[in-house]
Amino acid sequence: MPEEVVQNPPNRDGFSWRASAWCGQFPEVGINTDGEPSLALRHAVVCILNSQDAGLEMSAPTVLVVDDEPLVRWSVAETLSDHGYRVTTVADAAAAMSAMAGPGKPPDVVLLDLWLADRNDLGVLSAMQSLSPETKIVLITAYGSEALFEDARRRGAFASLDKPVEMSALAPLVARALEAQPEAGSLY
């Protein structure tokens, strides 16, 4: 199960969100002092999820971030949320596959770290591509090589990046992925 959903960009303090679309106006919501989501935040998330279940389209493109490093997940989610993307983050391959195969539309773009706690091969990329050929997958790794990146491309990766990744490069890369047309004769 995804560990966090960043629906709207956080306020400057980094701890509160304003949810108003699809469900009317919500008051400022956030995280309690004990680290738990406030009741208002829980209500906002339920309302947003219910609007998805009711078939209401949410216009912001979706991005799934798969990385075992919490700071990387947070940084990428913050960066992409600030650019208007809806971001879900998970820490391992099992959770990523659940997010891909779960109910609803699969993510538009996946940022996939190669080296995860439960997998460290291109099998996750291949499985994601099989589940959702239209999803653009960007492989990110600190263990890259020309041969690895070529293999990832053959398996359907839109792009491959070496870590560390420059955060300012992510939003333009996601935008290019969303604009990319399927290759003639490809499955997606």
Catalogue the E-assigned strands of 83-156: 86-90, 109-113, 136-141
Beta bridge partners of 137: 110
Domain 60-188 adopts which CATH fold?
Rossmann fold (3.40.50)
pLDDT digits (tens, 9 = 90+) for 69-122: 999 999 999 999 999 999 999 999 999 999 999 888 999 999 999 999 999 999
Residue 59 binned pLDDT confidence (cut-offs 50, 70, 90): confident
As a whole number of Å, the CA-based R_g of the chain is: 17
Parts of the chain belonging to CATH 3.40.50.2300: 60-188
Alpha-carbon torsion (169, 174, 179, 180), positive or negative: positive
Residues in the chain: 188
Q: Is the pLDDT of residue 53 over 90?
A: no
With CA atoms as reference, report the closest residue to 112 among 70, 73, 55: 73
User: Does the pLDDT value for residue 172 go beyond 50?
Assistant: yes
pTM: 0.69
Distances (CA, A) of 144 to 38, 93, 101, 120, 154: 41, 18, 27, 12, 15
